[in-house]
Chain A
Amino acid sequence: MSAIIDMPLEKFQTYFIESVPQYRALQLRAVARGAGYLAYDMPWAESLVGDPASGEVHECAITTLIDAVCATAIQTRLDRNFRTATLDLRVDFMRKSRAGRTISCEAEVLRLDADTAVVRALAHEGEKADPLAISTGSFAIISLRKAAS
């Protein structure tokens, strides 16, 4: 049903990341995906710094990464006749990020039906037991075929 998870990672990168200006600005990289699971990396960059004294990446860049991974994780279980829209997103920040470290985000779809989805995500610097942020989001499922809606 869904051709999306069968895409080679390189094609996935082109289709879901390189086509989106904000994702190019954050230099996001798709690193793993399955049905209802997705992981992206966001390399450290000077333009993402939220505290020039420490070099940490700003929390809002991490929020953007989380939103991106959650929404696209849902897409791995849908076909191209559907898109998603974020309804709400809660993010709890656990600690500061470190200068120079790539930030990884993994998201898992907990529930998906015809109307909405619930997704949980974790952002970390390579060690899941020491997360930067944890997040839960609710998403609307939008049919692109008028007749189907």
Chain B
Amino acid sequence: MNEADFAALRGAILALPYVRMLGFDIAREDGVLRGQLPFAERLIGNPLVPALHGGVVAALLHFTAAAQVMREARMARLPRVFTCTIEYLASPDLRDSYASASIVTRTRRFANVRVSAWQPHSGKTIAAATMQFLTGQMD
């Protein structure tokens, strides 16, 4: 994936208002896509624990998985998710979180993606998911 292709992929994801509300971004590290969700106050799901909301962790997993599908299926738009199963593995601290994804299997129509998220300050995997996307061109 060259610089222009990565810029187009990142641009397509950051064009979504919901992505900007979260503050999600995607980077490349040694050729690997890495989703990132910098801590922000609005992402807090439990002020007493305290912890990020599970739903925003799901979104970090989702957009990282979607980016991986876009890259491997050479899609210009985000693929549509039709089912997902999210496993929560550790309480997410009020810190920056990251994710990376790998395609388990992909056909012309579907992609099954395994994705996990972690927090570097603790070294803990906070969540993982299997997400299934439609990879055919939508609409």
Interface of A toward B, CB cutoff 8 Å: 19-25, 46-52, 57-61, 63-68, 83, 85-93
Q: How far is the CB of B52 from the nearest CB of chain A, in Å?
A: 8
Question: Given A20-B47, A25-B42, A52-B15, do A67 and B58 touch, yes or no (CB 8 Å)?
Answer: yes
Instruction: Given contacts A25-B21, A60-B58, A88-B86, list 19 more A-B pairs with CB under 8 A.
Output: A47-B21, A50-B16, A52-B16, A58-B18, A58-B19, A60-B18, A61-B18, A63-B84, A66-B55, A67-B54, A67-B55, A68-B53, A83-B48, A83-B49, A86-B88, A90-B85, A91-B86, A92-B82, A93-B81
Tell me whether A64 and B58 are in contact in the complex, defined as CB-CB below 8 angstroms, given that A47-B17, A47-B21, A93-B81 are known contacts.
yes
Q: B-side interface residues toward A, CB under 8 Å?
A: 15-21, 41-49, 53-56, 58-59, 62-63, 80-88, 91
Closest to B60 in A: A60
What A residues does B21 contact at CB under 8 A?
25, 47-48
Pair count A-B, CB < 8 A? 110
Q: Check B18 against A48 for contact (C-beta < 8 Å).
A: yes
In the complex, A88→B87 CA distance in Å? 4
Contact partner, A48, options B17, B43, B47, B91, Cβ 8 Å: B17
Contact (A22, B43) CB under 8 Å given A59-B62, A64-B53:
yes
A22: chain B residues at CB < 8 Å are 42-45, 53, 55-56
The answer to whether A65 touches B86 (Cβ under 8 A) is no
What chain A residues lie within 8 Å of B80 (beta carbons)? 93
A-B residue pairs, 7 tightest by C-beta:
A64-B55, A60-B59, A58-B18, A22-B53, A47-B21, A21-B44, A49-B17
- Classify the interface of chain B: helix, strand, loop or mixed: mixed
Known A22-B56, A58-B16; contact A87-B88, beta-carbon cutoff 8 A: yes
Q: Pick the contact of B81: A51, A59, A67, A88 (CB < 8 A).
A: A59
* Residue ID in chain A nearest B59 by CB atoms: A60
CA distance A21 to B17 in the complex (A): 18
Residues of A contacting B88 in the complex (Cβ-Cβ under 8 angstroms): 85-89
Residues of B within 8 A of A19 (CB): 47
